């Protein structure tokens, strides 16, 4: 079986879960052709990402002449399919924030993908995220007659489903994957009941072989928290800084490491300076997987104050490292964690509640925190083994595709 993975920007530092899924499928004997629209525009610090970049065909890097030529070849291969794809492009563009011009670009990208699908004998396509990559997969499926499916992560898709033509994509797909039960429920809201059976849950996962040993729980002080993620509004780092300021006013000995980068970096730096927390909060920038793991293992707990999430991989990574987690009670996070047993769940956007949870964690005996970490590790090992989840996905790929979309 050969699958074409259709992606937007790949590989990227925040998309290691896709790499794990692809490699788990390949371990099962599934052939995966990586077709991404564009490469990451920064530095890939992780060796695994650099290896993936070398194996990925970046569509826009081919140049416009090659892409236009692909439209011509797609028309020779299936004139009716090409015209139907163009009609579908115009339909998807209506009501879209991207507009007609970008959808015509997606159409051209889809022609290149269709050419690769036929030339490489790719049996079906699978996209990650219900945004432009899935649009390209849907159009390429129309051009080639090969089925497509896609994985929805959220939260972006749930914020503006109509603008992304998400209901149309769900109805036309062979099947759709959500990464949590919460995510599945949001997709079910968008389409008629008859489509619900094709919306499946396949979790993101960790590679257990990389977590056979666990570093002992830190005995040193101060209490150290770590946050990992893109510096953006939805990740909630600004609320975390407010909470840290309150924790300092209470006289607690707590440090925080922020691992990541993004558009809010300068805003975050100014907020840290304004609160006088420069001696308590450290910014490391992006780290490779080994660096993230070291940061988590060196901390007493992970803190994730997000306003919106899918099923955060960093929470899995902290739990499998046997570290308790403080996170917001949103989306799929409560399916991953257990409040009181693996950490603390707090309302999103509530700096005081977050400060209370940090305070309680800092005052909790080390033995209790170790027990929380052990419980969390066992839970992730049992529920989020990427080889187990990839087996579910491979079974879906192996099923007979629907003869035609609804």
Does residue 338 lie within any of the structural domains? Answer: yes
Q: Is the pLDDT of residue 182 over 80?
A: yes
pLDDT tens readout for residues 314-349:
999 999 999 999 999 999 999 999 999 999 999 999
Sheet with 254-259, edge to edge strand ranges: 281-285, 254-259, 223-228, 301-304, 325-328, 343-346
State how far the Cα of 400 lies from the Cα of 1, in Å rounded to an integer: 12
The whole model's pTM is what? 0.90
Residues 107 and 235 in one domain: no
- Which residue from 35, 263, 234, 264 is spatially nearest to 154, judged by alpha carbons? 234
Residues 181 and 296 in one domain: no
Does residue 236 lie within any of the structural domains? Answer: yes
Does residue 55 lie within any of the structural domains? Answer: yes
pLDDT tens readout for residues 63-88:
999 999 999 999 998 999 999 999 99
Residues 36 and 130 in one domain: yes
Residues 392 and 350 in one domain: no
Residues 191 and 278 in one domain: no
DSSP E strands, 10-120:
31-38, 56-58
Does residue 128 lie within any of the structural domains? Answer: yes
State how far the Cα of 360 lies from the Cα of 302, in Å rounded to an integer: 14
Of residues 173 and 290, more confidence is placed in 173
Residue 182 CB-half CA count within 13 A: 17
Q: Which residues is 148 bridged to in the sheet? A: 125
Residues 188 and 313 in one domain: no
Q: Is the pLDDT of residue 405 over 70?
A: no
% the chain with pLDDT above 70: 99
By DSSP bridging, strand 31-38 and strand 2-9 are: parallel
Does residue 404 lie within any of the structural domains? Answer: no
Q: What is the DSSP letter of 282?
A: E
Residues 194 and 322 in one domain: no
- Which residue from 142, 9, 134 is spatially nearest to 79, judged by alpha carbons? 142
Is residue 52 within 8 A of residue 19, CB to CB? The reply is yes
> Is residue 196 helix, strand or coil?
helix
Residues 195 and 275 in one domain: no
% the chain with pLDDT above 90: 90
Does residue 406 lie within any of the structural domains? Answer: no
pLDDT band at 266 (very low <50, low <70, confident <90, very high): very high
pLDDT band at 283 (very low <50, low <70, confident <90, very high): very high
State how far the Cα of 387 lies from the Cα of 42, in Å rounded to an integer: 30
Residues 169 and 312 in one domain: no
Is residue 277 within 8 A of residue 258, CB to CB? The reply is no
Give the CATH number for residue 56. Answer: 3.40.50.2000
Read off φ and ψ for residue 313, nearest 5 degrees.
-65, -35
- Which residue from 163, 252, 183, 207 is spatially nearest to 21, judged by alpha carbons? 207
Distance of CA 300 to the CA centre of its chain: 25
Does residue 41 lie within any of the structural domains? Answer: yes
- Which residue from 281, 325, 320 is spatially nearest to 300, judged by alpha carbons? 325
Average pLDDT on 25-35 reads 98
pLDDT number for residue 80 = 96
Residues 130 and 189 in one domain: yes
Tokens encoding 100: 């007609």
Taking only Cα atoms into account, the Rg of the chain, rounded to an integer number of angstroms, comes to 22
Does residue 353 lie within any of the structural domains? Answer: yes
Residues 186 and 242 in one domain: no
Number of separate domains in the chain: 2
Where b means 16+ CB within 10 Å and e means fewer, 100-125 reads eeebebbbbbbbbbbbbbbeeebbbb
Average pLDDT on 157-169 reads 94
Residues 334 and 312 in one domain: yes
Angle between helices 313-320 and 289-297 (to 10 degrees): 60
The residue segments making up the domain with residue 361 are: 210-383
Q: Is the pLDDT of residue 404 over 60?
A: no
């Amino acid at each position: 079986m050969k699958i074409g993975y259709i992606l937007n920007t790949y590989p990227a530092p925040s998309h290691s879960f896709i790499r794990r899924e692809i490699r788990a499928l390949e371990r099962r004997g599934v052939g995966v052709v990586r077709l991404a629209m564009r490469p990451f525009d920064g530095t890939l610090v992780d060796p695994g990402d650099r290896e993936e970049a070398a194996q990925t065909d970046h569509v826009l890097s081919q140049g416009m002449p090659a892409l236009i030529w692909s439209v011509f070849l797609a028309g020779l291969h299936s004139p009716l399919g090409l015209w139907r794809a163009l009609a579908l492009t115009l339909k998807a563009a209506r009501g879209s924030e991207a507009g007609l011009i970008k959808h015509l670009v997606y159409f051209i990208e889809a022609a290149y993908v269709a050419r690769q699908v036929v030339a490489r004998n790719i049996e079906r396509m699978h996209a990650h995220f219900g945004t432009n990559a899935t649009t390209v997969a849907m159009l390429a499926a129309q051009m080639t007659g090969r089925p497509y499916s896609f994985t929805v992560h959220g939260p972006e898709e749930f914020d503006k489903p109509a603008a992304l033509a998400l209901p149309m994509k769900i109805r036309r797909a062979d099947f759709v994957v959500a990464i949590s039960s919460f995510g599945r429920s949001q997709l079910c809201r968008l389409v008629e009941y008859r489509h619900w059976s094709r919306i499946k849950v396949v979790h993101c996962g960790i590679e257990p072989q990389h977590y056979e040993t666990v570093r002992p729980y830190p005995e040193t002080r101060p209490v150290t928290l770590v946050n990992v993620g893109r510096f953006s509004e939805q990740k909630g780092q600004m609320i975390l800084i407010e909470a840290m300021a309150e924790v300092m006013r209470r006289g607690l000995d707590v440090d925080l490491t922020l691992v990541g980068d993004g558009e809010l970096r300068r805003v975050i730096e100014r907020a840290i300076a304004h609160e006088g927390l420069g001696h308590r909060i450290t910014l490391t920038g992006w780290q490779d997987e080994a660096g993230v793991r070291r940061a988590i293992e060196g901390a007493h707990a992970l803190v994730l104050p997000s306003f919106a999430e899918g099923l955060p991989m960093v929470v899995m990574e902290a739990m499998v490292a046997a570290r308790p987690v403080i996170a917001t009670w949103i989306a799929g996070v409560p399916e991953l964690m257990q409040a009181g047993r693996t950490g603390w769940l707090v309302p999103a956007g509530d700096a005081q509640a977050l400060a209370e949870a940090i305070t309680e964690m800092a005052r909790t005996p080390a033995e209790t925190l170790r027990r929380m970490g052990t419980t969390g590790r066992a839970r992730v090992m049992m529920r989020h083994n990427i080889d187990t989840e990839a087996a579910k996905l491979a079974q879906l790929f192996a099923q007979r595709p629907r003869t035609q979309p609804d």
